[in-house]
Amino acid sequence: MCRTLWLRSSERMMEIFKKFSFDAAHYLPTVPEDHKCRRLHGHTFSVTVWVAGEVDPTIGWVVDFAEIKQAFAPLMQRLDHRLLNEIPGLEVPTSENIAIYLWREIKPQLPGLSRIMVQENESCGAVYSGD
């Protein structure tokens, strides 16, 4: 028997995610002159995109991971190996502002977008859950 036939509605709600990474340089022009992040430096940024919704009882997923990848692809081209400060909307490219920027760019393609996490490294980052 197919499991989806006997799932209750509350059991079909799910949040899925897909991870991406890109390399980019940035500096934070609004921090004090002597702050290390004021100087040009780079990161391998990690981005996690979450999409929430009901599991389709026929297909068995919330959304195809390929759709998330497709929504992120133009951003990858725009951000990877770039100076983030030169991208309109990212003049102050903190993790927080990058997360907001990504949300605004991805949300129209992924209506179920529920969260975006941007990490500069394994120990720090920002999570944004929408406007």
Q: List the catalytic residues.
A: 37, 81, 120
Is pLDDT at 4 greater than 60 in this prediction? Answer: no
Residue by residue, DSSP assigns 47-109 as: EEEEEEEEPPTTT-SSS-HHHHHHHHHHHHHHHTTEEGGGSTT-SS--HHHHHHHHHHHHTTT
Of 60, 64, 62, 54, the closest CA to residue 3 belongs to 60
pLDDT in tens, 64-108: 999 999 999 999 999 999 999 999 999 999 999 999 999 999 999
The amino acid that residue 60 corresponds to is G
Q: How far is CA 124 from CA 3, 27, 31, 121, in A?
A: 39, 16, 18, 6
Domains and CATH numbers, the chain: 3-128 (3.30.479.10)
Determine the average pLDDT of the residues in 45-63.
Answer: 96
Determine the average pLDDT of the residues in 14-43.
Answer: 97
What pLDDT band is residue 11 in, cutting at 50, 70 and 90?
low
- What is the distance of C-alpha 87 from the center of its chain? 17
Structure tokens at 3: 């499991």
Is pLDDT at 55 greater than 70 in this prediction? Answer: yes
